[in-house]
Amino acid sequence: MFKNLIPLCLVAASSALAEDTSMNPEFTAPVRLKAAREIIRVEDPGYASPCWADMDGDGRKDLVVGQFAGGKMKVYRNLGEGKLAEGKWLEAEGKTAEVPGVW
């Protein structure tokens, strides 16, 4: 246990990709991610915490977004071609997972 610890509101992956101009990176303008054509937003009071990991084992990394309210996380399956499916609350033991103490 604790070997394949991956993401969520928190864990980090050490993906080392081929990079070059790291100190003066040029970025595109920020874009709000959408899922099922709707802008993704978390419940009040906010504090969205994204992670990018393959949650369903289909070889594509999915989006998981943690939030403050209820300590819940929503999973947005990656449909490919830049599209994300409608979000579904992450479940644990058959119920919506809620991290105690929030965040």
Partner 1 sequence: MDILSGSYSRDEGEMAGLFQVLWGVEGGGFRAPAALNGSDGQPLIIQDRDDLPRICTRPTAVDLDGDGKLDIVSGNFGGTFAVFLGEGEGRISPTHRFLMDEDGSPLAVEGHSDPFFVDWDADGDLDLVSGSASGGALLFLNRGSKKEPKFGPSTTLLPAVESSPDDVFGDDWVHGPQEDTRVWVDDVNGDGKLDVLIGDCVTLTWVAAGLEEAEAKKKLDEWSERMRKAQDEFQAAKGNPTDEQQEKYNEECQKLWKEREGIVRQDSTGFVWVIYRK
Give the alpha-carbon dihedral of 44, 10, 61, 21, to 10 degrees.
Answer: 110
Pull the structure tokens for residue 29. 């303008």
Compare residues 73 and 77 and give the one whose CB is closer to partner 1.
73
Minimum CB separation of residue 88 from partner 1 in Å reads 13
- What minimum distance in Å lies between the beta carbon of 60 and partner 1? 9
8 Å CB contact between 78 and 59: no
Give the span between the Cα atoms of 62 and 36, in whole angstroms.
14
Our CB check for partner 1 shows the closer of 8 and 77 to be 8
We find the least distance from the C-beta atom of residue 79 to partner 1, in angstroms, to be 14
> Helix (H, G, I), strand (E, B), or coil: what is residue 74?
strand
* Contacting positions for partner 1 (CB under 8 A): 1-20, 22-23, 25-33, 39-53, 55, 57, 61, 63, 65-68, 71, 73, 82, 90-93, 95, 97-103
